[in-house]
Amino acid sequence: MKDIATPIRTRAILEKYKFSFKKSLGQNFLIDLNILARILDAAGVNEQVGAIEIGPGIGALTEQLAKRADKVVAFEIDQRLLPVLGDTLSPYDNVKIIHSDVLKADVSQVMREEFKEGQDVMVVANLPYYVTTPILMKLLEEKLPIKRIVVMIQKEVADRIAAKPGSKDYGSLSIAAQYYAKAETVFTVPKTVFVPQPNVESAVLRLTIREEPPVEVEDESFFFEVIRSSFAQRRKTIFNNLTHHFGKDRKEQIEVALTTASVDPKRRGETLSIEEFAQLSNELIGLLK
């Protein structure tokens, strides 16, 4: 039998189950084995690895993971796909499908239950585009014991996540992701490898999870508050954004913190490195809290 991720087999599966795509669930299925092989290579999947997939669809990527990894655990929200997956993945005994919205799932507990202690675990997925950022931020913020996240997402979001200071794409999302992981766009993907074809361009993003944060931050939630408020209005200076957020009566303290952190108050948030934001938030917290 042909692999699932081929146009012929995919069409046959969709017809057999009279499956209608739900746009609201970001259902764009992969029909290109070459792209799938490149995704698995980028993730470094081998027979020792545990893989977590989000949104298996009809099993295109799941099947390739099942062939190469030790075990695959996949979260699928759409109940209609469960019988389909039961059928398409029946040749593989190392796949577990969990019927759940991944945003509501206790991924940490699932990992403890499903993977061996000390096993390298990677997240590999063709993400539903309407929830890309919440899913990635959940995986990062929960500090799950995963090594790498390799995901197909909108190219525009991949560019924002991997952006460097000073570039037009650099913002609070770049810093949030890069605080937890090293981020890189591995390759871009043409629309023709999906059915149905998405409206946006796609790219594969690799996040290599850091063992330690790249900077020392006294209070993580305050650090992220400073970052978000610094980007609230991109055309404003960092000084104006911070005074707008923390209050005009804190002007002096903000000026002192900026000076101590060697940040010119006239600069814009998009020019500050993660190290500068860390220093600034460590200074500000002492003066404002």
Q: Which residues bind ligand SAM (CB under 6 A)?
A: 25-30, 54-57, 60-61, 75-78, 81, 101-103, 126, 128, 131
Smallest distance, ligand SAM to C-beta of residue 262, A: 43
Beta carbon nearer to ligand SAM, 166 or 200:
200
Question: Bridge partners of 210?
Answer: none
| Distance between CA atoms of residues 54 and 98, nearest Å | 10
Nearest residue (beta carbon) to ligand SAM: 55
Q: Are 255 and 265 in contact (CB under 8 A)?
A: yes
Beta carbon nearer to ligand SAM, 61 or 261:
61
Smallest distance, ligand SAM to C-beta of residue 78, A: 4
Percentages helix, strand, coil for the chain (3-state, rounded to 5) are 45, 15, 35
Beta carbon nearer to ligand SAM, 11 or 251:
11
Smallest distance, ligand SAM to C-beta of residue 44, A: 19
Beta carbon nearer to ligand SAM, 65 or 181:
65
| Distance between CA atoms of residues 268 and 278, nearest Å | 16
Number of H helices, E strands in the chain: 12, 9
**Distance (Å) of CA 255 to CA 58, 239, 261, 266:** 56, 7, 10, 11
Smallest distance, ligand SAM to C-beta of residue 61, A: 4
Smallest distance, ligand SAM to C-beta of residue 22, A: 7
| Distance between CA atoms of residues 27 and 127, nearest Å | 9
Residue 183, burial from CB neighbour count under 10 angstroms (0-12, 13-18, 19+): buried
Pair of tokens at residue 233: 């209005």
Smallest distance, ligand SAM to C-beta of residue 30, A: 4
Beta carbon nearer to ligand SAM, 151 or 209:
151
Beta carbon nearer to ligand SAM, 3 or 225:
3
Helices 251-260, 238-246: inter-axial angle, 10-degree rounding? 140
